[in-house]
Amino acid sequence: MKIIDFNNPSFSGFEPDEDILIDTGIILGYYNEYDAYYSTITKLFNDHILNNDNNLFLYINPTVINEISHLAKTPLKQYLKKFPTEAVNFTSGEEESFKEKIINGVKELIENEVLLILDGDKESALKQIELSEALGAVDAVNASIANLYGTSFLTVDRTLTNNIFSRQSDLPNIKTVYYTSGRNRDY
């Protein structure tokens, strides 16, 4: 298993025809300009995903979709908590519109087969149970599915990256974990 910081100046992009399971934080950061990782994820997409001559296969799973639906308002709430004087510029209806923007964006990517869906099986469910204590419930789902299909994994969560790496003997089929660190946050 390789661990690669996609903000490292030496990062030159993904492997040709690479299969990559995308974590929830990547989707939230891409679609919400108030997410702390918005700039770094937008740069990643512009430089290495959308303008890429190599075929990439990007995946999510039903748990990521569920988590996106549940957390879609979170980036704006975190922004307003960090910058409380900005709250006067937003209404509660705008929070809903940010959620709809994210959900509709994901829906469009799925409909256009930019994001493909991977689902687990008995083997990955058992692996999920085994890893849930070490990784947390949702992250165990993602790691077990990435392991099942032998994909790489893309996240903004450095702690998750370290936890997956520490359990690499349990996840031998995950090729690469791409991550970034908190120093690449906008705020």
Q: Which of 147, 119, 148 is nearest to 59 (CA)?
A: 119
Residue type, 4: I
Q: In this predicted structure, what is the pLDDT of residue 49? A: 93
How far is Cα 73 from Cα 108, in angstroms, rounded to an integer?
Answer: 19
Greatest alpha-carbon pair distance for the chain in Å reads 50
In a domain, residue 143? The reply is yes
Backbone angles phi, psi at 126, to 5 degrees: -65, -40
Segment 132-165, tens digit of pLDDT: 999 999 999 999 999 999 999 999 999 999 999 9
Model's pTM, two decimal places? 0.91
Give Cα separations from 43 to 65, 97, 184 (angstroms).
23, 24, 11
Domain coverage including residue 73: 2-8+16-182
Strand 56-60 relative to strand 18-22, pairing: parallel
In a domain, residue 105? The reply is yes
CB 154 within 8 A of CB 20: yes
The mean pLDDT value of the chain amounts to 94
The total domain count for the chain is 1
Q: How many residues does the chain have?
A: 187
In a domain, residue 75? The reply is yes
Asked if the model's pLDDT at residue 185 lies above 80, the reply is yes
- The two three-digit tokens of residue 87, written as one number: 């709250």
Asked if the model's pLDDT at residue 92 lies above 80, the reply is no
In a domain, residue 187? The reply is no
In a domain, residue 92? The reply is yes
Backbone angles phi, psi at 177, to 5 degrees: -110, 115
Domain holding 163: CATH number? 3.40.50.1010
Q: In this predicted structure, what is the pLDDT of residue 38? A: 96
Segment 32-54, tens digit of pLDDT: 899 999 999 999 999 999 888 78
User: Between these two residues, 86 and 161, which has the higher pLDDT value?
Assistant: 161
Give the HSE-up count for residue 98: Cα atoms under 13 Å, Cβ half-sphere.
24
